[in-house]
Amino acid sequence: SQQGEEDPQALSIQEGENATMNCSYKTSINNLQWYRQNSGRGLVHLILIRSNEREKHSGRLRVTLDTSKKSSSLLITASRAADTASYFCATDAGGYDKVIFGPGTSLSVIP
């Protein structure tokens, strides 16, 4: 079973709209990271949020973490066509020095 799973699997929105992706995990974590992957490319790190943090911002990105619900969300505001990509959450398994990636959310932003 996956430590982290994103929801929805795929999301299609119009340019200018906000996009929200969720990540749920099973065991307690120390940190959670979000990455973006453009088609055929490597992953790019977006944000790291620690278990004692509830919210972090980076430009148009906002990440929240609710450890009581074992979930995180990534909000992209005022989306652009260039935001079209797959988005992955990555968690540690609490006590292990290992990062586990979820299957990702595929985001399409239509111009």
Q: Is 8 in the site for another protein (CB under 8 A)?
A: no
Q: Is 96 in the site for another protein (CB under 8 A)?
A: yes
Cβ 52 to another protein shortest distance, Å:
12
Burial class (CB in 10 A: 0-12, 13-18, 19+), 58: exposed
Find out whether 12 and 84 touch, Cβ atoms under 8 Å.
no
d(CA 7, CA 10): 8
Q: Is 22 in the site for another protein (CB under 8 A)?
A: no
Q: Which residues bind another protein (CB under 8 A)?
A: 2, 4, 9, 30-31, 33, 40-45, 48, 50, 88, 92, 96-104
